[in-house]
């Protein structure tokens, strides 16, 4: 084994530390979103539209990064990626935390009944 290469345990630990830093950026963005918008209460289709809009911004920023265009210099692909993850997390929060979930519409409740059969 080459002594300059980190051991597998060190590599795993280093990856974990980097992931925690990224997760912290996502949680910071979630806090910012809550401060700006308050607790969000959307249907799944509405969440998908919001998420798609964020993905579109990420695509625009990524293309600008790759091709060096100045069309949207304020867009940073990393910032946009964090926002995509934060919106996906907000969606999960609403549907997994009963305190944040709005009551189902009649159509959603009927669909849930069909899905349960």
Per residue of the chain (117 residues), what is the pLDDT tens digit?
A: 455 555 788 888 889 899 999 999 999 999 999 999 988 889 889 999 999 999 999 998 888 888 877 666 667 889 999 999 999 999 999 888 877 766 667 887 787 778 777
**Per-residue model confidence (pLDDT) at position 18:** 93
Tell me, what's the pLDDT at 93?
92
pTM: 0.73
SS3 letters across the chain = CCCCCCCHHHHHHHHHHHHHHHHHHHHHHHHHHHHHHCCCCCCHHHHHHHHHHHHHHHHHHHHHHHHCCCCCCCCCHHHHHHHHHHHHHHHHHHHHCCCCCCCCCHHHHHHHHHHHC
Identify the pLDDT of residue 6: 57
Q: Where are the domains of the chain?
A: 8-116
């Amino acid at each position: 084994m080459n002594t300059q290469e980190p051991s597998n345990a060190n590599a795993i630990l280093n990856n974990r530390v980097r992931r925690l830093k990224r997760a912290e950026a996502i949680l910071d963005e979630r806090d910012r979103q809550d401060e700006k918008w308050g607790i969000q209460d959307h249907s799944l289709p509405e969440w998908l539209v919001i998420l798609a809009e964020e993905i579109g911004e990420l695509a625009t920023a990524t293309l600008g990064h790759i091709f060096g265009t100045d069309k949207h210099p304020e867009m940073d692909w990393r910032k946009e990626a964090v926002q995509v993850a934060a919106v996906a997390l907000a969606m999960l929060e609403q549907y997994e935390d009963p305190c944040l979930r709005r009551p189902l519409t009649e159509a959603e409740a009927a669909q849930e009944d069909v899905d349960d059969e």
